[in-house]
A and B are shown apart, each in its own frame.
Chain A
Amino acid sequence: MDFLNNYIYYIGAFGLFFIGLYTMLIKKNLIKIIIGLTLLDSGIYLFFVAVGYLHKGTAPIISGHSPASEKMVDPVPQALILTAIVIGVSILALALSLAVKLYQHYHTLNIKNIKELKW
Protein backbone atom coordinates (compact mmCIF):
# COMPACT_ATOMS: atom_id res chain seq x y z
CA MET A 1 0.00 0.00 0.00
CA ASP A 2 2.82 2.34 0.82
CA PHE A 3 4.36 1.57 -2.52
CA LEU A 4 1.12 2.49 -4.27
CA ASN A 5 0.87 5.73 -2.31
CA ASN A 6 4.33 6.72 -3.36
CA TYR A 7 4.26 5.73 -6.98
CA ILE A 8 0.63 5.82 -8.12
CA TYR A 9 1.16 8.98 -10.19
CA TYR A 10 4.21 7.55 -11.92
CA ILE A 11 2.33 4.32 -12.62
CA GLY A 12 -0.61 6.26 -14.05
CA ALA A 13 1.57 8.50 -16.18
CA PHE A 14 3.57 5.64 -17.62
CA GLY A 15 0.47 3.53 -18.03
CA LEU A 16 -0.86 6.24 -20.31
CA PHE A 17 2.52 6.45 -22.04
CA PHE A 18 2.58 2.71 -22.74
CA ILE A 19 -1.04 2.61 -23.90
CA GLY A 20 -0.14 5.33 -26.40
CA LEU A 21 3.02 3.53 -27.54
CA TYR A 22 1.14 0.24 -27.90
CA THR A 23 -1.56 1.96 -29.96
CA MET A 24 1.07 3.47 -32.22
CA LEU A 25 2.83 0.15 -32.74
CA ILE A 26 -0.18 -2.12 -33.26
CA LYS A 27 -2.92 -0.12 -34.93
CA LYS A 28 -3.21 0.09 -38.71
CA ASN A 29 -5.50 3.10 -38.95
CA LEU A 30 -3.69 6.44 -39.23
CA ILE A 31 -6.22 8.28 -37.07
CA LYS A 32 -5.79 5.69 -34.32
CA ILE A 33 -2.02 6.08 -34.57
CA ILE A 34 -2.43 9.84 -34.09
CA ILE A 35 -4.67 9.21 -31.07
CA GLY A 36 -1.91 7.01 -29.68
CA LEU A 37 0.56 9.84 -30.19
CA THR A 38 -1.57 12.22 -28.13
CA LEU A 39 -2.02 9.61 -25.38
CA LEU A 40 1.75 9.21 -25.23
CA ASP A 41 2.06 13.00 -25.01
CA SER A 42 -0.39 13.17 -22.11
CA GLY A 43 1.54 10.49 -20.24
CA ILE A 44 4.71 12.56 -20.48
CA TYR A 45 2.93 15.73 -19.29
CA LEU A 46 1.50 13.90 -16.28
CA PHE A 47 4.88 12.42 -15.44
CA PHE A 48 6.61 15.81 -15.54
CA VAL A 49 4.05 17.45 -13.29
CA ALA A 50 4.14 14.47 -10.91
CA VAL A 51 7.93 14.76 -10.61
CA GLY A 52 7.54 18.38 -9.51
CA TYR A 53 4.98 17.57 -6.82
CA LEU A 54 5.75 18.16 -3.18
CA HIS A 55 3.88 16.60 -0.26
CA LYS A 56 1.48 19.23 1.13
CA GLY A 57 2.84 21.78 -1.36
CA THR A 58 0.71 24.60 -2.71
CA ALA A 59 0.55 26.02 -6.21
CA PRO A 60 3.57 28.22 -6.96
CA ILE A 61 1.58 31.44 -6.86
CA ILE A 62 2.15 33.97 -4.12
CA SER A 63 -1.09 35.19 -2.63
CA GLY A 64 -1.13 37.90 -0.01
CA HIS A 65 -2.07 35.61 2.86
CA SER A 66 0.28 32.70 2.45
CA PRO A 67 3.08 32.66 5.00
CA ALA A 68 6.55 32.69 3.57
CA SER A 69 7.41 29.33 5.10
CA GLU A 70 4.71 27.53 3.15
CA LYS A 71 6.01 24.90 0.78
CA MET A 72 5.35 25.27 -2.92
CA VAL A 73 5.61 22.68 -5.66
CA ASP A 74 8.40 22.95 -8.20
CA PRO A 75 7.45 25.59 -10.82
CA VAL A 76 9.94 24.50 -13.47
CA PRO A 77 8.17 21.33 -14.75
CA GLN A 78 4.86 23.20 -14.81
CA ALA A 79 6.41 25.96 -16.91
CA LEU A 80 7.89 23.40 -19.30
CA ILE A 81 4.63 21.48 -19.67
CA LEU A 82 2.63 24.66 -20.16
CA THR A 83 4.38 25.29 -23.44
CA ALA A 84 4.71 21.60 -24.32
CA ILE A 85 0.92 21.16 -24.33
CA VAL A 86 0.54 23.90 -26.93
CA ILE A 87 3.30 22.36 -29.03
CA GLY A 88 1.56 18.98 -28.70
CA VAL A 89 -1.66 20.46 -30.08
CA SER A 90 0.13 21.99 -33.05
CA ILE A 91 1.93 18.71 -33.78
CA LEU A 92 -1.45 16.95 -33.61
CA ALA A 93 -2.89 19.44 -36.12
CA LEU A 94 0.06 18.93 -38.47
CA ALA A 95 -0.27 15.14 -38.23
CA LEU A 96 -4.00 15.34 -38.93
CA SER A 97 -3.39 17.51 -41.97
CA LEU A 98 -0.95 14.92 -43.31
CA ALA A 99 -3.55 12.22 -42.69
CA VAL A 100 -6.11 14.27 -44.63
CA LYS A 101 -3.72 14.56 -47.57
CA LEU A 102 -2.92 10.83 -47.50
CA TYR A 103 -6.61 10.01 -47.51
CA GLN A 104 -7.24 12.32 -50.45
CA HIS A 105 -4.43 10.65 -52.39
CA TYR A 106 -4.92 6.95 -51.54
CA HIS A 107 -8.59 6.92 -50.46
CA THR A 108 -7.68 4.81 -47.45
CA LEU A 109 -6.31 5.38 -43.96
CA ASN A 110 -5.03 1.83 -43.52
CA ILE A 111 -1.25 1.98 -43.55
CA LYS A 112 -1.10 -1.61 -44.87
CA ASN A 113 -2.67 -0.44 -48.12
CA ILE A 114 -0.38 2.54 -48.63
CA LYS A 115 2.48 0.93 -50.47
CA GLU A 116 4.90 3.86 -50.36
CA LEU A 117 4.95 3.70 -46.54
CA LYS A 118 6.57 0.25 -46.60
CA TRP A 119 10.31 -0.17 -46.33
Chain B
Amino acid sequence: MRKIISILLLFILTAGFTLCLLDIPFGEQKTKVGNYYINNGARETGAANIVTSVVVNYRGFDTLGEITILFTAAIGLAAVLGHPKKNKDPQPKEPASLIVYTGYRILFPFMLLFGAYIFIHGHLTPGGGFQGGAVIASAFILMYMSSKDKKINPTAVKIIESLAGLTFVGTAAAALTLGRPFLSNFMPKGEFMTLLSAGIIPVIYIAVGFKVGAEFSGIIHDLTGGN
Protein backbone atom coordinates (compact mmCIF):
# COMPACT_ATOMS: atom_id res chain seq x y z
CA MET B 1 0.00 0.00 0.00
CA ARG B 2 2.69 2.42 1.04
CA LYS B 3 4.67 1.54 -2.07
CA ILE B 4 1.74 2.22 -4.38
CA ILE B 5 0.98 5.57 -2.80
CA SER B 6 4.65 6.57 -2.98
CA ILE B 7 4.96 5.63 -6.64
CA LEU B 8 1.73 7.46 -7.42
CA LEU B 9 3.07 10.55 -5.66
CA LEU B 10 6.29 10.31 -7.65
CA PHE B 11 4.35 10.09 -10.93
CA ILE B 12 2.33 13.18 -10.06
CA LEU B 13 5.52 15.04 -9.18
CA THR B 14 7.18 13.88 -12.41
CA ALA B 15 4.28 15.19 -14.47
CA GLY B 16 4.37 18.53 -12.68
CA PHE B 17 8.12 18.94 -13.05
CA THR B 18 8.02 17.94 -16.71
CA LEU B 19 5.42 20.58 -17.46
CA CYS B 20 7.54 23.22 -15.73
CA LEU B 21 10.86 22.13 -17.24
CA LEU B 22 9.60 22.13 -20.81
CA ASP B 23 9.35 25.90 -20.47
CA ILE B 24 12.96 26.31 -19.33
CA PRO B 25 15.20 26.13 -22.40
CA PHE B 26 18.53 24.43 -21.94
CA GLY B 27 21.76 26.24 -22.73
CA GLU B 28 20.33 29.63 -23.56
CA GLN B 29 20.70 33.04 -22.06
CA LYS B 30 18.23 33.39 -19.24
CA THR B 31 19.05 35.84 -16.53
CA LYS B 32 20.02 39.48 -16.64
CA VAL B 33 21.67 39.43 -13.25
CA GLY B 34 24.22 36.83 -14.36
CA ASN B 35 25.12 38.95 -17.37
CA TYR B 36 25.55 41.98 -15.17
CA TYR B 37 28.00 40.09 -12.97
CA ILE B 38 29.95 38.81 -15.99
CA ASN B 39 30.21 42.23 -17.61
CA ASN B 40 30.88 44.33 -14.51
CA GLY B 41 32.04 41.89 -11.85
CA ALA B 42 35.74 42.07 -12.62
CA ARG B 43 35.72 45.87 -12.78
CA GLU B 44 33.67 46.37 -9.63
CA THR B 45 35.28 43.80 -7.34
CA GLY B 46 38.72 43.21 -8.91
CA ALA B 47 38.38 39.41 -8.76
CA ALA B 48 39.11 37.35 -11.87
CA ASN B 49 36.86 34.51 -10.68
CA ILE B 50 33.34 35.84 -11.07
CA VAL B 51 31.81 33.05 -8.99
CA THR B 52 33.99 34.21 -6.09
CA SER B 53 32.97 37.82 -6.55
CA VAL B 54 29.31 36.72 -6.44
CA VAL B 55 29.79 34.50 -3.38
CA VAL B 56 31.85 36.90 -1.29
CA ASN B 57 30.91 40.32 -2.55
CA TYR B 58 27.53 40.58 -4.23
CA ARG B 59 25.93 37.86 -2.12
CA GLY B 60 28.14 38.24 0.94
CA PHE B 61 25.20 38.28 3.31
CA ASP B 62 24.10 34.94 1.91
CA THR B 63 27.54 33.47 2.56
CA LEU B 64 27.51 34.84 6.10
CA GLY B 65 24.15 33.14 6.63
CA GLU B 66 25.40 29.84 5.25
CA ILE B 67 28.47 29.98 7.48
CA THR B 68 26.06 30.46 10.37
CA ILE B 69 24.06 27.39 9.29
CA LEU B 70 27.27 25.36 9.14
CA PHE B 71 28.22 26.58 12.60
CA THR B 72 24.77 25.73 13.99
CA ALA B 73 24.90 22.25 12.45
CA ALA B 74 28.33 21.60 14.00
CA ILE B 75 27.09 22.81 17.40
CA GLY B 76 23.94 20.70 17.07
CA LEU B 77 26.00 17.64 16.19
CA ALA B 78 28.24 18.14 19.22
CA ALA B 79 25.17 18.65 21.43
CA VAL B 80 23.37 15.56 20.10
CA LEU B 81 26.35 13.25 20.39
CA GLY B 82 27.41 14.78 23.69
CA HIS B 83 30.13 13.14 25.71
CA PRO B 84 30.12 9.45 24.86
CA LYS B 85 30.24 7.19 27.87
CA LYS B 86 33.51 5.40 28.30
CA ASN B 87 33.01 1.78 27.37
CA LYS B 88 33.95 -0.66 30.10
CA ASP B 89 35.89 -2.86 27.76
CA PRO B 90 36.41 -0.97 24.52
CA GLN B 91 37.18 -3.17 21.58
CA PRO B 92 40.87 -2.98 20.83
CA LYS B 93 41.32 -0.93 17.69
CA GLU B 94 43.03 -2.56 14.76
CA PRO B 95 45.90 -0.53 13.40
CA ALA B 96 45.56 0.49 9.77
CA SER B 97 47.66 -1.26 7.19
CA LEU B 98 51.16 -0.06 6.49
CA ILE B 99 50.10 1.23 3.08
CA VAL B 100 47.44 3.54 4.52
CA TYR B 101 49.73 4.75 7.29
CA THR B 102 52.65 5.45 4.97
CA GLY B 103 50.32 7.15 2.52
CA TYR B 104 49.01 9.33 5.33
CA ARG B 105 52.49 10.29 6.49
CA ILE B 106 53.58 11.29 3.01
CA LEU B 107 50.36 12.92 1.82
CA PHE B 108 49.13 14.76 4.92
CA PRO B 109 51.26 17.94 4.64
CA PHE B 110 50.66 18.14 0.90
CA MET B 111 46.91 17.87 1.34
CA LEU B 112 46.98 20.72 3.87
CA LEU B 113 49.16 22.74 1.48
CA PHE B 114 46.82 22.07 -1.44
CA GLY B 115 43.80 23.11 0.61
CA ALA B 116 45.54 26.32 1.63
CA TYR B 117 46.50 26.98 -2.00
CA ILE B 118 42.89 26.55 -3.09
CA PHE B 119 41.47 29.03 -0.62
CA ILE B 120 44.25 31.60 -0.93
CA HIS B 121 43.81 31.71 -4.72
CA GLY B 122 40.02 31.70 -4.54
CA HIS B 123 39.71 35.02 -6.36
CA LEU B 124 41.94 33.98 -9.28
CA THR B 125 41.37 30.29 -9.99
CA PRO B 126 38.50 27.83 -9.58
CA GLY B 127 38.21 27.22 -5.89
CA GLY B 128 37.75 29.16 -2.71
CA GLY B 129 37.17 28.90 0.97
CA PHE B 130 34.53 26.19 0.93
CA GLN B 131 36.45 23.89 -1.40
CA GLY B 132 39.79 24.48 0.31
CA GLY B 133 38.24 23.82 3.70
CA ALA B 134 36.78 20.55 2.44
CA VAL B 135 40.20 19.46 1.10
CA ILE B 136 41.78 20.22 4.48
CA ALA B 137 39.07 18.24 6.26
CA SER B 138 39.72 15.29 3.92
CA ALA B 139 43.34 15.33 5.12
CA PHE B 140 42.03 14.91 8.66
CA ILE B 141 39.73 12.06 7.56
CA LEU B 142 42.83 10.30 6.23
CA MET B 143 44.53 10.92 9.57
CA TYR B 144 41.64 9.35 11.51
CA MET B 145 41.54 6.38 9.14
CA SER B 146 45.24 5.64 9.26
CA SER B 147 46.20 5.85 12.90
CA LYS B 148 44.36 4.94 16.06
CA ASP B 149 46.08 7.32 18.47
CA LYS B 150 46.31 10.58 16.56
CA LYS B 151 43.50 13.02 17.30
CA ILE B 152 42.88 16.66 16.69
CA ASN B 153 42.62 19.00 19.63
CA PRO B 154 38.92 19.99 19.91
CA THR B 155 39.69 23.17 21.84
CA ALA B 156 42.14 24.37 19.20
CA VAL B 157 39.56 23.62 16.51
CA LYS B 158 36.95 25.69 18.34
CA ILE B 159 39.40 28.59 18.77
CA ILE B 160 40.37 28.57 15.06
CA GLU B 161 36.72 28.40 14.09
CA SER B 162 35.73 31.33 16.31
CA LEU B 163 38.68 33.45 15.21
CA ALA B 164 37.89 32.80 11.54
CA GLY B 165 34.25 33.71 12.08
CA LEU B 166 35.28 36.89 13.89
CA THR B 167 37.64 37.76 11.03
CA PHE B 168 34.79 37.45 8.53
CA VAL B 169 32.40 39.61 10.54
CA GLY B 170 35.15 42.03 11.58
CA THR B 171 36.30 42.60 7.99
CA ALA B 172 32.72 43.10 6.93
CA ALA B 173 32.03 45.51 9.81
CA ALA B 174 35.27 47.46 9.28
CA ALA B 175 33.63 49.03 6.24
CA LEU B 176 31.11 50.63 8.59
CA THR B 177 33.83 52.67 10.30
CA LEU B 178 34.67 54.24 6.93
CA GLY B 179 31.07 55.18 6.36
CA ARG B 180 30.52 52.45 3.74
CA PRO B 181 27.81 49.76 3.86
CA PHE B 182 28.38 46.45 5.66
CA LEU B 183 30.50 44.01 3.56
CA SER B 184 31.43 46.63 0.97
CA ASN B 185 34.85 46.30 -0.60
CA PHE B 186 36.77 49.08 1.12
CA MET B 187 40.34 47.87 0.64
CA PRO B 188 42.40 48.82 -2.44
CA LYS B 189 41.68 46.54 -5.36
CA GLY B 190 45.31 46.23 -6.41
CA GLU B 191 46.46 45.00 -9.79
CA PHE B 192 43.99 42.77 -11.60
CA MET B 193 44.86 39.03 -11.71
CA THR B 194 47.60 39.16 -9.08
CA LEU B 195 47.50 37.50 -5.67
CA LEU B 196 47.16 40.77 -3.76
CA SER B 197 44.07 42.05 -5.48
CA ALA B 198 40.31 42.24 -5.06
CA GLY B 199 40.34 44.03 -1.68
CA ILE B 200 38.53 42.16 1.06
CA ILE B 201 37.68 39.07 -1.03
CA PRO B 202 40.87 37.08 -0.27
CA VAL B 203 40.71 38.06 3.40
CA ILE B 204 37.15 36.81 3.75
CA TYR B 205 37.77 33.68 1.70
CA ILE B 206 40.82 32.73 3.78
CA ALA B 207 38.68 33.16 6.90
CA VAL B 208 35.97 30.97 5.32
CA GLY B 209 38.57 28.35 4.42
CA PHE B 210 39.85 28.14 7.99
CA LYS B 211 36.32 28.06 9.35
CA VAL B 212 35.05 25.33 7.03
CA GLY B 213 38.21 23.24 7.50
CA ALA B 214 38.04 23.54 11.28
CA GLU B 215 34.31 22.86 11.40
CA PHE B 216 34.48 19.75 9.21
CA SER B 217 37.45 18.44 11.17
CA GLY B 218 35.45 18.98 14.37
CA ILE B 219 32.47 17.14 12.86
CA ILE B 220 34.72 14.21 11.90
CA HIS B 221 36.20 14.21 15.39
CA ASP B 222 32.73 14.10 16.96
CA LEU B 223 31.46 11.40 14.60
CA THR B 224 34.44 9.12 15.20
CA GLY B 225 33.66 8.98 18.89
CA GLY B 226 34.95 12.23 20.32
CA ASN B 227 37.31 12.46 23.23
Contacts and interface: CB of A to CB of B under 8 A. Distances in A.
B62 to A, nearest CB: 7
Interface residues of B, number: 56
Chain A interface extent, by class = 35 or more
B210 to A, nearest CB: 14
B17 A14 contact: yes
B26 A62 contact: no
Contacts of B7: 22
Interface stretch (B50-58, B110-118, B143-151, B179-187): B50-58
Mostly, the A contact residues are helix
A94 interface: yes
A25 interface: yes
Interface in B142-168: none
B6 A61 contact: no
B221 to A, nearest CB: 11
B56 to A, nearest CB: 9
B68 to A, nearest CB: 10
Interface of A: 6-7, 9-10, 14, 18, 21-22, 25-26, 50-55, 57, 59-64, 72, 74-76, 78-80, 82-87, 89-91, 93-94, 96-98, 100-101
